[in-house]
Structure 1
Amino acid sequence: MILRLLTILFWGTALGLVHTFFLYPISLKFWTLFQEGVQSNEGTSLPSVALIIAAYNEEDVIAEKIENSLQLDYPSELLNIIVFSDESDDRTDEIVAGYQEQGVTLIRIEGRVGKTECQNRVANEVDADLLVFSDANSIYEPDAIAELVQGFSSNVGCVVGELRYQDSSAVEGESFYWKYESWIKRLESRIHSPVSGNGSIYAVRSESYVPQSPAAISDFTEPLSIIRNGEFVKYAPDAVAWEETSDSTRTELQRRIRIVTRSWNSIADFPELLNPFRDIKFAYQLWSHKILRWLSPILLVIVFIANIGLAARDDSVMYQLLLSGQFLFYLFAAFGWLADRFDIESPLTIHVPYYFLQANYGMLLGLMNFLRGKNIVVWETVDRTQE
């Protein structure tokens, strides 16, 4: 009886892990072979665009972001650049105000209400066909806005751009992870919609915008709201924003905890999208890409404990080999942790396992926050003086 239970636990959790990280993107790739592409907006008149930049204590980067925005290859008469300051207490507002004569608008919001509520208020004030949301540290390619615009069609309410990381980043695992995520988003977009946006670069049709709860993570829930209302979200891989990854794995861990905490709290407001009888394609994507992924730290613990039990009770060499493989993976991750702790450059063979486990640790803490009824509404700007 115990052996049977261990076998079910091991293979069930192992299948969940293999599915969310490997089988899911493979199934998407297979699905796209039978899926027709969606027509873009090419050939129609250009819409007006409001580029809305989120800022909280961004004095180190906001000038570079505004200069980048002013140089975008999009008609200036159709592009309105807006920076909202969530009660910044450094020189952010002063720097932005210096660009007023060049058409940049500063909207200061008092009360430290968080990014999502700031976006709601600004979206309500802006008169433009499309709203493009960006972060202060996201540097756009010159044609990024134009590429976002081309992604729209009559039934598309949101277009998500591609975030890329500078190769010089100290946290290589994050860059590796985002390349993997970008590949999945391309596939998801071809069969239905990506399951989330990207706070660095995504656009929403003004008439499709749905105000979000201040506690929600807007680049996740806004696309979900648009999908719930019957429109599609599309991915524009040629609409590129560049960022540097976190300067330390500690910073990346805190970011992961914040995102997963808010994501669990947010998905609780969209139970109907998890119902396969409502939309089997999108429910499959949401369960496979998000729910199973967020549960992966629990699955990792179960599969490891069950493997130990099977290796001790079953004569099969297979379980011995699988357990040895797990121990080797965790050993590589330990070497990656030591390299990070002592600031030693490490190869991907040990850095990626370490990054993977740290990301799962962050997801575990995010899940625990959600189960305790905790959420994280406001964000803190990274101290870039240490980079």
Structure 2
Amino acid sequence: MNSLLIAAIIFTAIPVITYLIYVLAILRSPNSKIHTPNSQPPITVVIPTYNESEVIEHRIKNLVEMDYPAENIHVIVVDDQSTDNTVGLAAEAFKKYDLSGEVIVKEKRSGTNASVNMGVGEATTDFVVTTDADVTFEPDAVNHALGRLLSDEKIGAVCGELEPIARRDSFTTHSEKAYRDVYGKMCSWESGLHSTYCFNGPLIVLRKKAFSPIPETKGASDAGMALRIIRNGYHCLYESSARFSEYITNDMSQQRRQKLRRSARLQEATLHNLGLISPKYGKFGMFVLPLRFIMFFIAPASFFLAVILWSVVLGGINIFWGIGIWVLFGLALLSGQWKSNLVSSFIWHQIYLLISLVYMSKGVHVWQAIERKKV
């Protein structure tokens, strides 16, 4: 058999087998039980901010509107040297909505990870919620996440599920919606095995005793937090019933920047925690993390090498077959412009993962947020 054909088959098999495992697992996974907490203990809500004047009041108002006693909520806004009026508006909102809260202004801009460490470190409650300034919790979101957390002492943190909202349909919104349709199911399956570290940072409920400060310049704050908690001997779970909303940008350049930053920081967190690949961490260490490593680092390169090799192999038989591979690839890539679909979203996801390997070396722990919109 031709060596190019063998290579094409091997490189095709890597992403196909990796994602087929998740597809089969998702199809076999039962619906998770919704947990309601028997009590609503005091919680601290930590909100890292940077230039959030458009959304910060709305964010604080949303916390008061939850199905959770406002008197049991204390908010810590950790501001990363905003150049707008975020600090003043946050302080005013605490008074306006009669909510216990404080604003901590950092001495220098150092990124989200440092803000999370500071906020959780200042919390005096057993349970802490970390969130973003531009999202909106559904009324029962914290209750569902906290109920899951309290269902087992071995659970150290629970994250919620993102409901993306678009002001208008576009190529970027189609791609993101298709991606989010399966993202949560993948994380839920990993949670059923042991843990997932692909957390949604805008809604994480954690036990403070399970938390350890995350590296300030290594990886995403949400993934880094989950990986530290897993290292500390706890489980980290994804709770699909704990829902929050966030606007998707319609701007392709903003989405590209956001995707590359998120991918790079997730890859960086993965590399920084490869020591968790060990029987000591159960099915997470022996299955989940190795599978994610393949998905983030090996599968993207294998996928594009497979496309190139198949075009060469088939082009050697008939030039039009080789050209046909690239025509089909292009049509699949752009099909998401007309209708949300997993094929287009998958290809774009592989592109982002591949490019972000280079982007990762630039250092992205301090970043400029995309447009801020109230939900």
Query: Which TM bucket (shorter chain)?
Result: 0.7 to 0.9
Q: Which residue of 2 aligns with 1:359?
A: 349
Q: Following the alignment from structure 2 to structure 1, what is the Cα–Cα distance between the partners of residues 359 and 306? A: 23
2:349 equivalent to 1:347: no
Q: Give ranges in structure 2 of 5+ residues lacking alignment.
A: none
- Residue 247 of structure 1 aligns with an amino acid whose one-letter code is N
Aligned residue runs from structure 1 range 285-296, under 5 A: 285-296=288-299
Q: Give ranges in structure 1 of 5+ residues lacking alignment.
A: 340-345
Q: Which residue of 2 aligns with 1:205?
A: 207
Q: Which residue of 2 aligns with 1:59?
A: 53
Q: Does the 8 A contact of 1:69 with 1:81 survive in 2?
A: no
2:242 equivalent to 1:248: no
**Aligned partner of 1:180 among 179, 182, 185:** 182
Q: Which residue of 2 aligns with 1:215?
A: 217
Q: Which moved more, 1:83-92 or 1:287-296?
A: 287-296
Aligned residue runs from structure 1 range 146-295, under 5 A: 146-152=143-149, 153-169=152-168, 170=170, 171-216=173-218, 217-275=220-278, 279-295=282-298
Pick closer, same or farther for the CA change 1:39–1:165 going to 2, 3 Å.
closer
Aligned residue for 2:45, secondary structure, equals: strand
Q: Does the 8 A contact of 1:87 with 1:111 survive in 2?
A: yes
Q: Does the 8 A contact of 1:193 with 1:282 survive in 2?
A: no
Q: Which residue of 1 aligns with 2:112?
A: 115
- Residue 333 of structure 1 aligns with an amino acid whose one-letter code is L
- C-alpha displacement of 1:164: 0.8
Q: Following the alignment from structure 1 to structure 2, what is the Cα–Cα distance between the partners of residues 51 and 219? A: 15
Pick closer, same or farther for the CA change 1:150–1:321 going to 2, 3 Å.
farther
**Aligned partner of 2:73 among 47, 68, 79:** 79
Q: Following the alignment from structure 2 to structure 1, what is the Cα–Cα distance between the partners of residues 214 and 291? A: 24
- C-alpha displacement of 1:332: 4.1
- C-alpha displacement of 1:308: 2.1
How many residues align? The count is: 365
Q: Following the alignment from structure 2 to structure 1, what is the Cα–Cα distance between the partners of residues 90 and 192? A: 39
Pick closer, same or farther for the CA change 1:320–1:49 going to 2, 3 Å.
farther
Q: Following the alignment from structure 1 to structure 2, what is the Cα–Cα distance between the partners of residues 71 and 277? A: 42
Aligned residue for 2:9, secondary structure, equals: helix
Q: Following the alignment from structure 2 to structure 1, what is the Cα–Cα distance between the partners of residues 322 and 33? A: 43
Q: Following the alignment from structure 1 to structure 2, what is the Cα–Cα distance between the partners of residues 96 and 72? A: 18
- Residue 157 of structure 1 aligns with an amino acid whose one-letter code is G
2:373 equivalent to 1:376: no
- Residue 363 of structure 2 aligns with an amino acid whose one-letter code is N
- Residue 327 of structure 2 aligns with an amino acid whose one-letter code is F
Q: Which residue of 2 aligns with 1:24?
A: 22
Q: Following the alignment from structure 2 to structure 1, what is the Cα–Cα distance between the partners of residues 9 and 175? A: 28
Q: Following the alignment from structure 2 to structure 1, what is the Cα–Cα distance between the partners of residues 281 and 76? A: 38
Pick closer, same or farther for the CA change 1:66–1:201 going to 2, 3 Å.
same
Q: Which moved more, 1:260-269 or 1:200-209?
A: 260-269
**Aligned partner of 1:299 among 302, 308, 313:** 302
Q: Which residue of 2 aligns with 1:333?
A: 333
Q: Does the 8 A contact of 1:53 with 1:136 survive in 2?
A: yes
- C-alpha displacement of 1:260: 2.1
Q: Following the alignment from structure 1 to structure 2, what is the Cα–Cα distance between the partners of residues 300 and 122? A: 41
Q: Could you give the per-residue CA deviations for residues 254-274 of structure 1, whole angstroms, max 9, x where no partner exists?
A: 112112222232222212223
- RMSD value, Cα: 2.9
Pick closer, same or farther for the CA change 1:168–1:366 going to 2, 3 Å.
same
Give me the identity figure in percent: 24
Q: Does the 8 A contact of 1:132 with 1:204 survive in 2?
A: yes
- C-alpha displacement of 1:132: 0.8
- C-alpha displacement of 1:357: 3.8
Q: Following the alignment from structure 1 to structure 2, what is the Cα–Cα distance between the partners of residues 211 and 13? A: 39
Q: Following the alignment from structure 2 to structure 1, what is the Cα–Cα distance between the partners of residues 334 and 234? A: 45
